[in-house]
Amino acid sequence: MPRHKQIEGNTAVLEPKARGLSTREALRLLYTMEDLAEAIARERPTPKTRQALARVKELREELEERFDNEEADKALKEPGRIPWEEVKRKAGL
């Protein structure tokens, strides 16, 4: 069973590492789940199916944000960073 953390009331966010997944793998899984939830919600547009779709989208957005933050943290640790002043100069700012 995956570990969860509470956010905004009773919603929970999947912890991919508890399932042995990387954030990238969990994100791919959530894209697939979102496609499936959208198809079900189109075929059976009930409050429960719309709620399930909203939940999957919420999880995907949370995981996308986490993935982006992880990638940014990795990039900041890479050697040979370009100073901001040099970036501005090259951009003509």
Tens of pLDDT, residues 32-85: 888 888 888 888 889 988 888 888 888 888 888 888 888 888 888 878 778 888
pTM score > 0.85 for this model?
no
Tens of pLDDT, residues 44-54: 889 988 888 88
The full set of domain ranges for the chain reads 4-91
The string of DSSP letters for 48-75 reads HHHHHHHHHHHHHHHHHHHHHHHHHHHH
